[in-house]
Amino acid sequence: MTAPRVYQTEAIIIKRIKLGEADRILTLYTPELGKIKAVAKGTRRPKSKLGGHVELLTHSLLMLARGRNLDIITQAQTIDNFLPLKDDLERIYRGLYISELVDSFTAEHIENRRLFDLLLNSLHQLSQAQNGELVLRYFELRLLDYIGYRPQLQRCANCSSPLQPATNFFSSSQGGILCHECAYQEPIARPLSLNALKVLRLWQDCDYATASRVKTNRELSSELEQVMREYIKYLLERQLKSTAWLDKLKQESHQPM
């Protein structure tokens, strides 16, 4: 039996590039098909009927027709456009950052329902939450979990011995915490405070509502950001491009020009 010629799917638009005169190639994250790419014809014209329904960071119901290379979007209806997110500069770029993360860590046509739900939920949280940084850290940790890079936080990732309740070390290459003995053999492992370890452990297995109750001061929040960023950079073998811009925005909002 051949696959049906047209099909319907929910999708979150995570990336778009221009194609030809008025078309776009969209990168979509879907619940059943994972990441897919599709052509949205004519969306750059003001009168396009797809227009706003296939805008970045929008959750839409799409009808697609199978094409020779890429499938073509024939109909689109917005489910949620995350309007509060799109009215705020920091929120927009946090949303684009988690989109870039999903795009960088996934291959096409691999279903990952949990990741779709995480992405959808995180966009909702980013639309409302006061503490956007916390949403980002929680997202990063859970994303790594769902795609098979769950960091080992319970015992030493090298020798499996229990960890002392003190400052330990995080090793990106071992994918987890190292005890003091093992950290000697790996000089690039970074120290991780007990508080940071506790927060990461909690987030690894709790839902968002519980995670959001964690109070972090600026120091702890920056430690968590650095450790996650290093681990992500190690896994991707490159720095995510969005991070430079997020840093700049954060810097400017702390010291107004």
Partner 1 sequence: MNTNFMPVAEPIAKLIEEFNKLPGIGPKSAQRLTYYLLQVPAEKAEALAEAITAVKEKLSLCSICFNITDSDPCVICRDEERDHTKICVVEEPIDILPLERTKKYKGLYHVLHGVIAPSDGIGPEELKFKELLSRLNDGLVTEVILATNPNLEGEATAMYLQRLIAPLGIRITRLARGLPYGGDLEYADDVTLSRALEGRQEM
Site residues, partner 1 (CB under 8 A): 15, 20-21, 46-47, 49, 51-53, 55-57, 78, 81, 83, 86, 89, 92-93, 96-97, 99-100, 103, 240-242, 244-246, 248, 257
Nearest residue (CB) to partner 1, 20 versus 67: 20
Identity of the residue, 63 or 206, whose beta carbon is nearer to partner 1 in the bound complex: 63
Q: Which is nearer to partner 1, 41 or 114 (CB)?
A: 41
Angle at 29 between CA 28 and CA 33, to 5 degrees: 105
CA distance 24 to 27: 10
From the CB of 52, what's the least distance to partner 1, in Å? 3
Q: Residue 29 or 208: which CB sits closer to partner 1?
A: 29
Least distance to partner 1, CB of residue 45, Å: 9
DSSP 63: E
**Nearest residue (CB) to partner 1, 44 versus 114:** 44
Residue 25 near residue 96 (C-beta atoms within 8 A):
no
Backbone torsions φ then ψ of 2, nearest 5 degrees: -90, 155
Q: To the nearest whole angstrom, how small is the minimum distance from the Cβ of residue 164 to partner 1?
A: 40
What is the DSSP-derived secondary structure letter of residue 51?
G
Backbone phi, psi, residue 51, to 5°: 15, -110
Are the beta carbons of 54 and 48 closer than 8 angstroms? Answer: no
CB of 246 to partner 1, least distance (A): 7
Structure token digits, residue 239: 């720095």
CB of 72 to partner 1, least distance (A): 17
